Amino acid sequence: MTQADRAWALVCQYVQDAGLRRHMRSVGVAMRFYADQLGEDADYWEAIGRIHDFDWEIHPNLNEHPMLGAPILRENGWDDETIRIIMSHYEGGTGVAPEKPVDFALLACDEITGLIIASALVRPNRNILDVQLKSVRKKWNTRRFAAGVDRDHVEQATADFSRVCFGEQLDLWTHVGNVLSAMQGAAADLELDGRLADGGG
């Protein structure tokens, strides 16, 4: 079993909500893309993306998530480094600052997937393959659309990721385009291939 598969098994154990599962799978896909770009372990980076919010359904507030998820990860055999990475995606609550490329990638890929998913789901065919970057950009500027996506956080996380991993050469919209492309490549796995237009789950 790959680490990404192992991560998905954990998600399926603790998460029933289809939207939350889609979010974590989306972040995993984006993380895999950047691991390939940076010569890192793509399977492991995808695993990190998949499990980063695994405990949100049982700890659905920032007073508990992801802190109370750490013991569960440990009980399921995940090592201290993996737990540190997960903790780093909410420094404000955990006190664990991002320090490695994987940490900054997770922060940069996390919230932007929400805007992209929402952009796909408002289309009549609910097919991410028909979502264009210019459409996502337009929705970015409409702050009431996917209002839960903190645009300022996305901008800062992308800037930090660019500085740490790309010599400040990764701009926001190249990043968004990369994540969109990665997600389009996994449209079927994300169930954003049009099947939801027929009232599927």
Residue ranges covered by each domain of the chain: 3-198
> Looking at residue 201, what is its pLDDT?
47
Q: What are the tens digits of pLDDT across the range 168-184?
A: 999 999 999 999 999 99
Q: What are the tens digits of pLDDT across the range 132-151?
A: 999 999 999 999 999 999 99
The predicted model scores a pTM of: 0.95
H helices within the chain, ranges in order?
3-14, 18-38, 42-51, 69-75, 80-88, 91-94, 101-121, 133-140, 151-165, 172-184
Q: What are the tens digits of pLDDT across the range 15-44?
A: 999 999 999 999 999 999 999 999 999 999
**Angle 40-46-148 from CA coordinates, rounded to 5°:** 120
Residue 182 structure tokens: 């990665």
